[in-house]
Structure 1
């Protein structure tokens, strides 16, 4: 029974090697990875892919806000604060691996998951009015494309 805590630590350590983002852009990358550095590179690629999608949607939102400087400022402020939140949240969620070789992968996986959720939020903004029956989008923060 004396060895149980060690076995638990090993199992817990192995579990942290599994990618934690909800869906990976390239599962094949993780399957063929042979080292922590390669797993980290997979997580970098996942984050980059979802971040690229987020940036495209953000540009669409900015474009729809031409001539509405007040709302555009709110969008910019919200996004800056969201990035700060995402980074702080992922720093907190990976605090126990800080300084370890797995930390970057864990952080990237966390950031990719939160960024994917933000992509869904942005898509909701862009689709506002379509689902609610508000065809002209008067109640939408981001106006419908004309």
Structure 2
């Protein structure tokens, strides 16, 4: 009897219709008014900027590796220099954006400020990496 009741209760829980953890909330970012929605939109902007940065990073790193391969052994090192610069840049971006978030420390807008900063700096870095690839003759 207890087992039948438990099974019935479990079945009812499974029938409850609600968003699954895999579903992402949808927000019309051009009409976002709540802080939660604006922060979600900032996150989407950052994800797009980060994807663009990662794509350009792969192209620029390959261009630098190809350039290194065309140089004599003592002239190589561009790819390693680029990697060191990118690691330093990530630390800079994260620290700078955390600092910018202090303008609203403890407020509900703080996460949005940090995320928006990361998106903006990532877009700038993407352009820098693209220019570097173009400078060394590759895209």
TM category, shorter? 0.5 to 0.7
**Deviating 4+ runs (over 6 angstroms):** none
Q: CA deviation at 1:122?
A: 1.1
Q: 2:65 is paired with a residue of what secondary structure?
A: coil
Q: What are the residue-to-residue correspondences of 1:113-132 with 2, within 5 Å? A: 113-128=120-135
Structure 1 alignment gaps of length 5 or more: 1-27, 129-142
* Number of matched pairs: 105
Q: What are the residue-to-residue correspondences of 1:1-146 with 2, within 5 Å? A: 29-66=28-65, 68=68, 70-128=77-135, 143-145=136-138
Q: TM-score, normalised by structure 1?
A: 0.64
Q: TM-score, normalised by structure 2?
A: 0.67
Q: Which of 1 and 2 has greater Rg?
A: 2
Structure 2 alignment gaps of length 5 or more: 1-26, 69-75
Q: CA RMSD in A?
A: 2.0
Q: 1:145 is paired with a residue of what secondary structure?
A: coil
Which has the larger helix fraction?
A: 2
